[in-house]
């Protein structure tokens, strides 16, 4: 396939490299002017998108996605697929999809889970919103860049799935960290706590697969000085997207709102910037009871 790839950062770069390695003809563009093995560098986003079967975007936010869509949709060939892998607000995803559909294109919103490690290894999970025809065309590419893709329904539903998942993740990580800090103060050994909770009704991905306590459970960022596997500021971005969606949809999400406020405090007022999202544990260790 002829593929245009716009946004060759920490995530987009390795994804584009994997597509090129698999034998696809990839033309890429990034405002930072980076070069990727096997990827032909284009002078502009328009040049990267022209005469391509699929144009993939991996961008920081909805405003940038809308701006790039305005540039590339007019030059894309009829019947091509606009595949956005960014994590953005649901409204932007749906607006760009409507714009693409009106121009005779298929549009997919396909945010990912798996981080930079998953992008490099080609083991990402894609949550996909959009039309069936576009999904069928892109499936081959999902198989190269990732290990799983789930078609979640119409445009915007990929973003909806991502933010609902990460709202659960953010809230469960916070309470897992709180529980370890409480266990410490009650004199309960962390290994004993893990052995009980990981095989009892309190188990979760945050506890079992990504334990925030160093030296307990499988290897995680806690064992590497909380260097990010998933940065706290990225969790904050996703939680804010969830709250924006909740407001737009008139959904009551008080725990999601509380998690958002705590990560905002951690990232913006404390030392959470640049730390893994599980570094909430050392944050809670030094704190006392609030009446």
Q: Which pLDDT band holds residue 291 (cuts at 50, 70, 90)?
A: low
Report, as an integer, the average pLDDT of 180-192.
98
Question: Cα 72 to the chain's mean position, in Å?
Answer: 23
Q: Which pLDDT band holds residue 163 (cuts at 50, 70, 90)?
A: very high
pLDDT digits (tens, 9 = 90+) for 17-32: 999 999 999 999 999 9
Residues 180/189, Cβ–Cβ less than 8 Å: no
Report, as an integer, the average pLDDT of 38-51.
97
The active-site residue, picked from 2, 21, 148, 162, is 162
Between the alpha carbon of residue 96 and those of residues 44, 243, 275, 277, the distances in Å are 19, 21, 32, 30
Give the residue from 205, 222, 221 showing the smallest Cα distance to 213: 222
Q: Which pLDDT band holds residue 112 (cuts at 50, 70, 90)?
A: very high
Q: Which pLDDT band holds residue 111 (cuts at 50, 70, 90)?
A: very high
Ramachandran angles phi, psi of 27, nearest 5° = -110, 130
Report, as an integer, the average pLDDT of 93-116.
96
pLDDT digits (tens, 9 = 90+) for 207-217: 999 999 999 99
Report, as an integer, the average pLDDT of 214-231.
96
Pick one of 1.10.1040.10, 3.90.600.10, 1.20.1050.10, 1.20.1070.10 as the CATH number of 160-286. Answer: 1.10.1040.10
Report, as an integer, the average pLDDT of 74-83.
97
Ramachandran angles phi, psi of 184, nearest 5° = -55, -45
Give me 188's structure tokens: 């309960």
Residues 37/13, Cβ–Cβ less than 8 Å: no
Report, as an integer, the average pLDDT of 149-156.
98
Average pLDDT score, the chain: 97
Locate CATH 3.40.50.720 in the chain.
2-153
Q: What is the predicted pLDDT for the residue at 290?
A: 83
Q: How far apart are CA 258 and CA 166, in angstroms?
A: 14
Q: What is the predicted pLDDT for the residue at 127?
A: 98
pLDDT at residue 36 greater than cutoff 90: yes
**Domain 2-153 classified CATH 3.40.50.720?**
yes
DSSP for 137-202, written as a single string:
HHHHHHHHHEEEEEEEESTTHHHHHHHHHHHHHHHHHHHHHHHHHHHHHTT--HHHHHHHHTTSTT
Give the residue from 287, 291, 262 showing the smallest Cα distance to 173: 262
Report, as an integer, the average pLDDT of 34-55.
97
Question: Residue 8, Cβ neighbours under 10 Å: how many?
Answer: 26
Q: Is 162 a catalytic residue?
A: yes
Report, as an integer, the average pLDDT of 152-180.
97
Report, as an integer, the average pLDDT of 66-75.
98
Q: How far apart are CA 259 and CA 171, in angstroms?
A: 5
> Which residue has tokens 């945050």?
206
pLDDT at residue 161 greater than cutoff 70: yes
Q: Which pLDDT band holds residue 198 (cuts at 50, 70, 90)?
A: very high
Locate CATH 1.10.1040.10 in the chain.
160-286
Q: How far apart are CA 240 and CA 158, in angstroms?
A: 16
């Amino acid at each position: 396939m002829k593929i245009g790839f716009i946004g060759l950062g920490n995530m987009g770069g390795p994804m584009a490299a994997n597509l090129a390695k698999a034998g696809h003809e990839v033309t890429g563009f990034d405002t930072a002017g980076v070069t990727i093995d096997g990827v032909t560098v284009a002078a502009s986003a328009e040049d990267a998108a022209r005469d391509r079967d699929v144009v993939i975007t991996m961008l920081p936010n909805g405003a940038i996605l809308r701006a790039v869509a305005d540039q590339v949709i007019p030059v894309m060939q009829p019947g091509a697929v606009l595949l956005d892998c960014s994590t953005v607000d649901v409204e932007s995803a749906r607006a760009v999809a409507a714009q693409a559909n009106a121009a005779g294109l298929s549009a997919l919103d396909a945010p990912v889970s798996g981080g930079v490690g998953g992008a490099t290894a080609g083991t990402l999970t894609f949550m996909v919103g959009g039309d069936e025809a576009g999904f069928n065309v892109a499936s081959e590419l999902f198989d190269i860049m990732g290990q799983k893709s789930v078609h979640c329904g119409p445009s915007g539903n990929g973003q909806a799935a991502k933010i609902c998942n990460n709202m659960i993740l953010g809230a469960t990580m916070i309470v897992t960290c709180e529980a370890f800090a409480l266990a410490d103060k009650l004199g309960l050994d962390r290994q004993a706590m893990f052995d009980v909770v990981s095989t009892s009704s309190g188990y979760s991905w945050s506890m079992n697969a990504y334990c925030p306590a160093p030296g307990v459970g499988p290897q995680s960022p806690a064992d590497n000085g909380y260097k990010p596997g998933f940065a706290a500021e990225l969790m904050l971005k996703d939680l804010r997207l969830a709250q924006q969606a909740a407001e737009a949809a008139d959904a009551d999400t008080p725990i999601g709102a509380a998690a958002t406020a705590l990560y905002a405090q951690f990232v913006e007022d404390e030392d959470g910037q640049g730390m893994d999202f599980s570094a909430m544990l050392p944050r809670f260790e030094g704190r006392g009871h609030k009446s």
